[in-house]
């Protein structure tokens, strides 16, 4: 009887969890809704078929300063190309240097594998991540 009571008490905890919950708040970067499909058969996205080849996307309406997408070997990640630790200014567009993204405002570098700061120092936010859905072996969708 105790097992059933414990199960009934724990059931709301399990039902409250969902893979669809995707919270990604950053007080400096506003949330813009977008949905963008990427066909890796197209030449501009073919580098995503290989590990550690970041591809920037500057299409209109995709992020604030664009989005960078990368194949990590275990999946795909997508990050906003805006410096995450200061208000948006003229210098807040990240530049890509290999597998790092660098903020020209404060010279902080971030890993494009997981979005964490690669530069030592006290920064509050990592890169703003976006949702990536695999559609097929050669197609993904990024969204917010």
**Span 80-130, pLDDT tens digits:** 999 999 999 999 999 999 999 999 999 999 999 999 999 888 788 999 999
**pTM for this structure?**
0.83
**Residue 90 belongs to a domain with what CATH number?**
2.102.10.10
Structure-model confidence comparison of residues 73 and 16, the more confident one: 73
Q: Is the dihedral of CA 123, 73, 50, 29 positive or negative?
A: negative
The CA distances from residue 7 to 4, 17, 18, 24, in Å, are 5, 16, 19, 32
- The Cα 123–Cα 121 span in angstroms is 6
Residue 17 resides in a domain: no
Note the residue count of the chain.
144
pLDDT of residue 20: 46
- The Cα 56–Cα 45 span in angstroms is 9
DSSP 121: S
Q: Which domain holds residue 100?
A: 26-143
Residue 16 resides in a domain: no
Residues 14, 8 contacting (CB under 8 angstroms): no
């Amino acid at each position: 009887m105790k097992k059933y009571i414990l199960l009934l008490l724990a059931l709301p905890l399990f039902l409250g969890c969902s893979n669809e919950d995707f919270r990604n708040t950053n007080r400096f970067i506003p949330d813009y809704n977008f949905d963008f499909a990427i066909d890796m058969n197209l030449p501009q996205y073919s580098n995503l078929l290989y590990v550690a080849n970041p591809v920037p996307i500057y299409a209109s309406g995709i992020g604030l300063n664009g989005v960078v997408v990368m194949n990590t070997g275990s999946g795909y990640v997508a990050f906003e190309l805006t410096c995450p630790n200061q208000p948006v200014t003229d210098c807040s567009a990240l530049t890509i240097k290999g597998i790092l993204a660098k903020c020209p405002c404060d010279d902080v570098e971030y890993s494009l594998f997981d979005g964490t700061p690669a530069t030592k120092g006290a920064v509050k936010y990592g890169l703003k991540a976006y949702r990536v859905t695999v559609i097929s072996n050669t197609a993904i969708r990024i969204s917010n």
